[in-house]
């Protein structure tokens, strides 16, 4: 019991000294540990209304501390602070001052996935319209961009398409090799139908020097073979640079743009889930955060009360 009531602060100092001199960590790293642990000790003392003791370092106290950090810190910062406390706990176990490391039982907070980047409607239109000319390669590039943005295809799905997978009369694309081996039917608009139609009329011109032509593949390279995903990424990047988009566009950001613009246009999440081929609705729900942020931005800029207008006038 006497050990449990021993002051915690001196043990923190001993731990910092050990990582600096025994484990040969840099002074900057030791200072970072020291800052994290000083904040934890301050939290403990505020809760206990006395100096922190070894016995205060328990699982409930650590969980309470982490809970106090959420909302004020990002998950990466919270994870780092927990790691510092875990290292202190391991040090105390090695010194025989604790039987178990109480922080070891506390789970790391999950890091939220970053929200997907997307283009504005104007940017997306500029990118899709960027390929110029009526040669086979330019028409192919236009069809690629239309399908990525118009149908929200993954780049791997686009490259796996065969001619028979596109039904221009029904305005649909059959994705036979979707993520997880799942198949789906994705609708396409008039613009994509027109782009694919024009490309197919000149597709045979992409035959290689030896006259070889992949008779099945929809999207061909300059040698008449199925186009690679890397080549598609290069085509998108080139169009993005020429269009002057705020952020570098990729096949995936065109897919994200498709989903976001569908949501902004009033499509429900279940429909978007089917179009994109998401296995879980939770994946599709990420786009609601993007659109809500945009909604609030428009509201703050347009609503007089949000702007702080005094209400005088009409």
Of residues 176, 252, 286, 294, which has the active-site annotation?
Answer: 252
Single out the residue of 191, 175, 187 nearest to residue 127, CA to CA.
Answer: 191
Reply yes or no on whether 248 is catalytic: no
Rounded CA-CA distance 273/300 in Å is 29
Reply yes or no on whether 287 is catalytic: yes
Of residues 53, 255, 256, 261, which has the active-site annotation?
Answer: 255
Reply yes or no on whether 179 is catalytic: yes
CA atoms 80, 81, 86, 89: torsion sign: positive
- Two structure tokens written together for 150: 């118009």
Of residues 140, 154, 203, 256, which has the active-site annotation?
Answer: 154
Reply yes or no on whether 278 is catalytic: yes
Residue with tokens 């065969």: 162
Query: CB of 247 within 8 A of CB of 253?
Result: yes
Of residues 51, 95, 179, 246, which has the active-site annotation?
Answer: 179
Of residues 33, 65, 199, 287, which has the active-site annotation?
Answer: 287
Reply yes or no on whether 171 is catalytic: no
Q: What is the 3-state secondary structure (H, E, C) of 190-222?
A: HHHHHHHHHHHHHHHHHCCCCCCCCCCECCECC
Residue 144: CA count within 13 A, CB half-sphere: 34
Of residues 53, 86, 261, 278, which has the active-site annotation?
Answer: 278
What residues are annotated to the active site? 154, 179, 252, 255, 278, 287
């Amino acid at each position: 019991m006497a050990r449990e009531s021993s002051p915690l602060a001196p043990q923190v100092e001993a731990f910092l000294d050990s990582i600096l001199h025994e484990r040969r960590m840099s002074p900057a790293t030791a200072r970072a540990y020291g800052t994290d642990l000083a904040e934890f000790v301050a939290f403990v003392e505020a809760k206990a209304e006395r100096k922190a003791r070894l016995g205060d370092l328990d699982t409930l106290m650590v969980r309470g501390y982490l809970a106090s950090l959420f909302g004020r810190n990002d998950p990466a910062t919270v994870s780092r602070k927990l790691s510092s406390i875990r290292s202190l706990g391991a040090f105390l176990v090695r010194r025989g001052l604790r039987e178990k490391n109480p922080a070891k039982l506390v789970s790391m907070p999950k890091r939220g996935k970053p929200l997907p980047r997307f283009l504005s409607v104007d940017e997306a239109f500029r990118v899709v319209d960027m390929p110029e000319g009526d040669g086979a390669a330019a028409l192919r590039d236009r069809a690629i961009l239309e399908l990525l943005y118009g149908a929200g295809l993954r780049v791997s799905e686009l490259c796996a398409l065969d001619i028979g997978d596109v039904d221009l009369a029904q305005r649909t694309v059959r994705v036979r090799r979707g993520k997880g081996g799942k198949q789906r039917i994705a609708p396409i608009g008039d613009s994509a139908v027109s782009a694919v139609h024009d490309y197919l009329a000149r597709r045979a011109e992409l035959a290689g020097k030896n006259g070889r032509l992949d008779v099945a593949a929809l999207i061909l390279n300059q040698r008449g073979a199925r186009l690679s995903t890397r080549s598609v990424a290069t085509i998108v990047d080139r169009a993005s640079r020429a269009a002057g988009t705020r952020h570098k566009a990729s096949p995936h950001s065109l897919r994200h743009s498709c989903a976001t613009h569908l949501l902004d246009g009033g499509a429900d999440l279940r429909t978007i889930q089917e179009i994109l081929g998401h296995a879980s609705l939770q994946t599709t729900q990420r786009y609601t955060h993007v659109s809500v942020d945009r909604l609030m931005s428009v509201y703050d800029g347009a609503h007089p009360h949000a702007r702080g207008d005094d209400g005088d006038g009409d």
